[in-house]
Amino acid sequence: MNEQKFFSTRAGKLTIAFIIVMIAFAMIMFGLYNNISIMYTLGFTMIVLSMLYSPIKTHIYDKLKNRKARQINEQRANDKANL
Amino acid sequence: MNIPINFLMWGLACLPILTLLVLMIKFQWGATDAAPIGLTITVLTGIIFYKADIELIAAESAKGIWNALTILLIVWTAVLMYQVGLEAKAFSVIRNGMRKLLPNELLLVLAMGWIFESFLQGITGFGVPVAVGAPLLIGIGVKPMWSVIIPLLGQSWGNTFGTLGAAWDALAMTTGLTHQSPEYLKTAFFTAAFIWFWNIIDGFVICWFYGKGKAIKKGFPAVLCISIIQGGGELMLTQINTTIACFVPACVSLIAILLLSRTKAYNSEWCVSESQIMNRDFSESRADDSPKDMKLIDAFVPYILLSAITLIVLVVPPVFEFCSQFKLSISFPETVTGYGFVNAAEPAFSPISPFTHASMFLFISSILGLLYYKKRKWLKVDSTKDIFIRSVSMTMPSGLAVICLIIMSKIMAGTGQTIVLANGIANVLGGVYVILSPFVGMLGSFMTGSNMSSNILFSGFQNATANLLNIDPSVILGAQSSGASVGSAISPSNIILGTTTAQILGSEGKILKKIMVINVPVVIMIGLIAFAIVNL
């Protein structure tokens, strides 16, 4: 399997998100053991952002992208009709 | 704890669960998309209204990830086992072989979707029956969605006394029930009795799914016989030894189904051709791709190894004692919310015993199975790398959802939202609470994906509420654990195990909708029975 290709798929991107969660887990544990609040705060923020990647991509970004593409197509069709 | 228990706080605690249900059922979002929204709401509610600080939230998140990893190890290794079988074309052999062995298709579906899952639940649990069962059912021609639904239902009765009684032990430990005391035996009796009720419904529901009334009529003697062995056997054994109360009847039912296939009623070919769960095109199109020299027993080698290794390690005391001495755990500091809700420090949080963990059994049997198939030339020389790559890429997306759901349940529990949720129900309902007591158990396993976690989370509360309301705690605790057992079938983190191995990730909402229609009425019935018992 082509590595470059895999990481550009949805499964690949979620794999990256999973790896980030694992790194964040290590950061939280390190922060809790050594009482470094910035470390566990950063770790937790990384978890939330990685988790939110999928719903934001599927239900906001892709939908906006599709809507924009539709609008451009409609605009082009209108321009053609006007010509 | 000074958390105000009012409608606002209760409603806020409900919000993440409601959001999850609405997004998954109404809007058909997959768990990977819905769970982060539920998690975000839980975090915001926890910080703003339940006065949790970021240290608490981060610590509970880390606990969630740690717990999720123990589940994910099972998913990864179960998928590896599936990929080994798929690459060797063992599922085609299983389909053809089981069809010959069990010519009655209804009996075949019951065997592969109910009996085998019960057996796996009896020893391993933790979602293994769903993850392993789904591809097996697809192998015999069941449609992918149904191949997830059926094992979810088939395994759920075994959740309390399965995994060698782990969930039951958690209940007994949390509520301080002394081993073999009259209260212990009475609670075990009510739990097993409620579960038997669910077990028999399970059998008939699978028949209904397969071929509606026609299949119920045909399957009636088989379901009755199997349920007497499983449910009745479990009820009887709980009064002797709760550790083997599910495992032994599950093994006996495996033998019983083979004997049933020799009886007049089931020894000839029978099927419902218009069955909604069967993929007839699949059966025909894949009919010839099985290796000619592979026998049914060869195809089952990884599963036979899985059963043998699990049995040897878990049931033989010296082996178990030796293997269970190695443990991995992490520690957590004490955290407190602004309302004084304390999460005690954990010097060794949720230790994993790697050599007695189900994932180890799955991994060893997968590797041995792979070597066996390679030796018999059913796998290509360079196929190992592909098997591993496919296993990893198949499981990563679901991994994120499982982690998210478990973090959500941990934050809910750690900020006091879970206890407010349960207390609110009890305060408002008073004596009628008994009817809803199995719902609390169901809620626990819905959130955590585990009967054991539900019992740890809610048994103490249920026991205290029963005493407060002057109700027999054994009935309430029976309703709690049986509700949790029923609820394990609708837990998104369990569903996702099946959708991953069935390769229909994203269909969790559809599956949840189908199962909830059955499980919710059953839990209401258990509640009503419990209410009748305490008011007799």
Residue in chain B lying closest to A34 (CA)? B333
- The helix or strand, by DSSP H or E, that contains position B349, with its residue range, turns out to be strand B346-352
Average pLDDT, chain B: 88
The C-alpha atoms of residue B85 and residue B89 are separated, in whole angstroms, by 6
Compute the average pLDDT of residues B267-276: 92
Compute the average pLDDT of residues B201-218: 96
Residue of B33, B43, B65 with shortest CB distance to A25: B65
Per-residue pLDDT tens over the stretch B251-262: 899 899 989 999
Q: Check residue B342 and give left, alpha or beta (phi > 0: left; psi -120 to 50: alpha).
A: beta
Interchain pair B393, A1: CB under 8 A: yes
Interchain pair B399, A18: CB under 8 A: yes
Contact present, B253 and B238 (Cβ < 8 Å): no
Q: Is the pLDDT of residue B521 over 70?
A: yes
Residue in chain A lying closest to B43 (CA)? A48
Is the pTM here over 0.80, yes or no? no
Interchain pair B61, A29: CB under 8 A: no
Q: Is the pLDDT of residue B277 over 70?
A: yes
Interchain pair A28, B62: CB under 8 A: yes
User: Of A31-45, B90-104, B156-170, B484-498, which has the strongest mean pLDDT?
Assistant: A31-45
Interchain pair B58, A41: CB under 8 A: yes
Q: Which amino acid is at B381?
A: V
Smallest CA–CA separation between B356 and chain A, in Å?
Answer: 24
Compute the average pLDDT of residues B323-349: 92
Cβ contacts of A39 on chain B, cutoff 8 Å? none
Q: So what's the pLDDT on residue B288?
A: 58
Q: So what's the pLDDT on residue B124?
A: 67
Q: Is the pLDDT of residue B198 over 90?
A: yes
Interchain pair A40, B55: CB under 8 A: yes
Cβ contacts of B384 on chain A, cutoff 8 Å? none
Q: Kindly report the number of other CB atoms within 10 A of residue B286's CB atom.
A: 18
The C-alpha atoms of residue B375 and residue B370 are separated, in whole angstroms, by 9
A57: buried, middle or exposed (CB in 10 Å: 19+, 13-18, 0-12)?
middle
Q: Is the pLDDT of residue B118 over 70?
A: yes
**B337 phi/psi in degrees, rounded to 5:** -85, 170
Residue in chain A lying closest to B385 (CA)? A1
Per-residue pLDDT tens over the stretch B395-433: 776 778 878 888 988 898 899 998 888 788 778 888 888
Strand, helix or coil for residue B276? coil
Token pair belonging to A39: 């470390």
Q: So what's the pLDDT on residue A3?
A: 57
The model's confidence at residue B338, banded by pLDDT at 50, 70 and 90, is very high
ipTM of the complex: 0.89
Strand, helix or coil for residue B433? helix
Q: Touching check for A42 and chain B: CB below 8 Å?
A: no
The model's confidence at residue A66, banded by pLDDT at 50, 70 and 90, is confident
The C-alpha atoms of residue B45 and residue B416 are separated, in whole angstroms, by 11
Q: So what's the pLDDT on residue B282?
A: 62
Residue of A25, A41, A59 with shortest CB distance to B62: A25
Interchain pair A12, B65: CB under 8 A: no
Residue in chain A lying closest to B37 (CA)? A52
Residue of B59, B61, B396 with shortest CB distance to A47: B61
Interchain pair B393, A15: CB under 8 A: yes
Residue in chain A lying closest to B330 (CA)? A29
Interchain pair A40, B54: CB under 8 A: yes
The C-alpha atoms of residue B60 and residue B394 are separated, in whole angstroms, by 27
Which residue pairs, CB below 8 angstroms and at least 24 apart, start in B366-375?
B366/B77, B366/B80, B366/B81, B366/B84, B366/B302, B368/B301, B368/B302, B368/B305, B369/B81, B369/B84, B369/B85, B369/B301, B369/B302, B369/B305, B370/B84, B372/B298, B372/B301, B373/B84, B373/B87, B373/B88, B373/B90, B373/B301
Q: So what's the pLDDT on residue B283?
A: 55
